[in-house]
């Protein structure tokens, strides 16, 4: 990414990382279905989605997870790495909505020679409701050079 490398010394608990905003189109959901192999009809067949009580097409949970993975990747690249990340799908999201993908540093520690940063990560819908809360741990390089 164009932004400069983030080092562990640069971050503090409570700090937010640069957010990304994703607005899915039905076309993107079909591209995701092909890329991920998830062909559940609620993601591209609006009649089917409505027939089982949904208001319309629904954004794949795993695509939201991938957005959060991208959010983390952009922040740690190129020298950092994602150690773990995960999220729960508490609320549905719909194509056409702006989905804000955000993260906040919750802790910094060192383990096995790596500088680790814990984060809360989440996606919120246009009403500000957190539909997709999660947590992550990433490894960041150090300005001391004692890394990885």
Partner 1 sequence: MTGLVTPELEALVGTAWPPVVHEVDRTGIRMWARAVGIDDPIFHDEAAAREAGYERLPAPPGFMGVPRRMPGDDEPGPPIRGLHPDLTRSLNGGTEYEYRSAVMAGDELVASTTISDVKERSGSVGPMLLITRETTYRRGDDIVAILRATVINY
Which positions touch partner 1 (CB under 8 A)?
1, 22, 28, 31-32, 34-37, 40, 52-53, 60-63, 65-67, 69-70, 72-74, 77-78, 81-89, 92, 134
* Nearer of residues 84 and 111 to partner 1, judged by Cβ: 84
Count of alpha carbons within 13 Å of 115, Cβ hemisphere only?
19
Shortest Cβ 56–partner 1 spacing (Å) = 15
- Name the burial class of residue 35, with classes exposed (0-12), middle (13-18) and buried (19+) by CB atoms within 10 angstroms of its CB: exposed
Shortest Cβ 5–partner 1 spacing (Å) = 12
Q: How far is CA 98 from CA 21, 34, 110, 124, 131, in A?
A: 6, 23, 36, 9, 12
**Structure token digits, residue 116:** 């680790």
* Orientation of helix 26-36 relative to helix 61-76, angle to 10°: 80
CA dist., res. 136 & res. 121, Å (int) = 7
Shortest Cβ 105–partner 1 spacing (Å) = 18
Give the number of residues written for the chain.
Answer: 148
Shortest Cβ 130–partner 1 spacing (Å) = 14
Shortest Cβ 128–partner 1 spacing (Å) = 18
* Nearer of residues 8 and 68 to partner 1, judged by Cβ: 68
């Amino acid at each position: 990414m164009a932004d400069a490398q983030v080092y562990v010394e640069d971050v503090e608990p409570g700090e937010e990382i640069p957010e990304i905003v994703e607005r899915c189109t039905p076309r993107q959901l079909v591209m995701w279905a092909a890329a991920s192999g998830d062909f559940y009809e609620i993601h591209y067949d609006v009649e089917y989605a409505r027939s089982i009580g949904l208001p319309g097409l629904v954004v794949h949970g795993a695509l939201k997870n991938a957005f959060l993975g991208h959010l983390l990747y952009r922040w740690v690249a190129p020298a950092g790495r994602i150690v773990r990340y995960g999220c729960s799908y508490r609320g549905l999201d719909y194509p056409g909505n702006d989905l804000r993908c955000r993260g906040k540093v919750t802790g910094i520690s060192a383990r096995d020679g790596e500088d680790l940063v814990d984060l809360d990560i989440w996606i919120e819908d246009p009403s500000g409701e957190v539909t997709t809360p999660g947590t992550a741990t990433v490894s960041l390089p150090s300005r001391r050079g004692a890394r990885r």
